[in-house]
Chain A
């Protein structure tokens, strides 16, 4: 194992590490319109963040909802964010795509069921936040070819594609059954993948930026410390 051999091993590792340092650029636009902000925070009450999934051509991603929940909880650990899947299962079948309330006023109909009302009371739910949107890959161009042989493998080419995220968060005050705000985030970015033997992905964190943008705005609304 001479120095040349060590260099041969280190070179691709170095390329990959360098690639990880690169990220494609992302443009983000955030709009916010909120009312009745809880100035002192939400205390011991809890918040649930739910994705809308009644559209025919897309579902708001479960991992995106989890990302926003994690972002809020890590920004202010005193905010109790209820896990979406646990909530949907606990309240089955009242928050399925077919049955989920579309207006805050319709929650009253749900609360007419004593067993549902008791569960909500136990949960001390103060805010229900609905996220509607999706992330999609748009135009892609370029080509890449890869070959593999005994002891040798490699790719050559260049590819690029765009990604767009568009999400809107609607905040419902669960106590008063009214909508108290809307926050939207539209992000877009271009990712690149040049390949000279090793493909180097330069990924634009479009969905992650949308998550951070929405998460920051929601944190600002819910937390007394932001």
Chain B
């Protein structure tokens, strides 16, 4: 109303110009209501302060993990779509965690790496994100942005990794040494001049740090891991067999980040349950 009364005092030519301006403003405001929000999680992650375990760890980041993103569709006109891409930050962060925890870390991206380093690798860890939830103040009326994540970690012997005919790496789910969940939570309060995207990013970074803290402090206490660590300490090798290509295993899609990375395909014969168990 205030706007209308002020506009009425201007001349005819001005009328048109201001009307056009107001129309543009209204369209912009309408457009803003429908726009989706996207966050590519970024952060500087510290290296853990730990005495590394004398272990050579293989790491496979499945494609679904390395390119992990979370999409939440708006449920009403007042809400917006949210796309939170965490994959790149996940890989950066967990690389720091594993490098700090273990003497040596080998990224297993192809069969050549398995052949070259297989004899030295004590175990291969495969992380997966099984769930991610978030809340923002417009959802809860609480001035806090929150992110909750649930990981499923799998530790397998190097002998459980095989190569399919098409070059894809596969893991036999029955040959796992350990499987355990890790939950993580991150929150950040609202702050002056902070956008929703910045706050969600910060909450995700806090959640990642929490995931690392949870992983590090519970790693040795997980019963199957404790057995694995004991076996390594006692010199009982888990990799006395040379891995050979087999078929029928579950494929582990590896992100083709490097130029020489093989093209990875889903195994059409694998069941949904099997695929979920490794990716």
Contacts and interface: CB of A to CB of B under 8 A. Distances in A.
Nearest to A88: B46
B203 to A, nearest CB: 11
B18 interface: yes
A89 interface: yes
Given A92-B46, A92-B209, A152-B6, 4 more contacts: A91-B49, A92-B47, A98-B214, A148-B6
B2 A145 contact: yes
Contacts of B14: 150
Contacts of A147: 1-3, 5-6
Interface string B198-216: 0000000000011011101
A119 interface: yes
A146 B7 CA distance: 15
Nearest to B17: A150
Given A58-B189, A59-B187, A149-B6, A113 B50 contact: yes
A146 B1 CA distance: 10
Interface in B167-220: 187-189, 209-210, 212-214, 216-217
B48 A92 contact: yes
A149 B7 CA distance: 6
B51 A93 contact: no
Contacts of A61: 189
Most buried by B among A58, A96, A99, A145: A96
Contacts of A58: 144, 189
A68 B246 CA distance: 63
Which A-B residue pairs are the 4 nearest by beta carbons? A147-B2, A149-B6, A93-B213, A89-B46
A15 B169 CA distance: 71
Interface size class of A (residues with CB under 8 A): 20 to 34
B10 interface: yes
A90 B44 CA distance: 12
Given A92-B49, A93-B212, A115-B50, A59 B188 contact: yes
B2 A150 contact: no
Given A59-B188, A90-B49, A116-B49, A146 B2 contact: yes
Residue of B2, B212, B216, B217 ringed by the most chain A CB atoms within 10 A:
B2
A151 to B, nearest CB: 9
A94 B216 CA distance: 10
B46 A150 contact: no
Nearest to A113: B51
A98 B213 contact: yes
A116 B216 CA distance: 14
A24 interface: no
Interface in A85-143: 89-94, 96-99, 113-116, 119
A44 interface: no
Contact of B51 (A59, A114, A148, A149): A114
29 contacts: A57-B142, A58-B144, A59-B188, A90-B49, A91-B49, A92-B48, A92-B209, A92-B213, A93-B48, A93-B49, A93-B209, A96-B209, A96-B210, A96-B213, A97-B210, A113-B51, A114-B51, A115-B49, A115-B50, A115-B51, A119-B49, A146-B2, A147-B1, A147-B2, A147-B5, A148-B3, A148-B6, A149-B7, A150-B7
Contacts of A98: 210, 213-214, 217
A90 to B, nearest CB: 7
Contacts of B46: 89-90, 92
B217 A93 contact: yes
Given A59-B189, A92-B46, A98-B214, A150 B6 contact: yes
Contacts of B210: 96-98
A58 B217 CA distance: 24
Contacts of A94: 49
A51 to B, nearest CB: 12
Contacts of B18: 150
Interface in B142-171: 142, 144
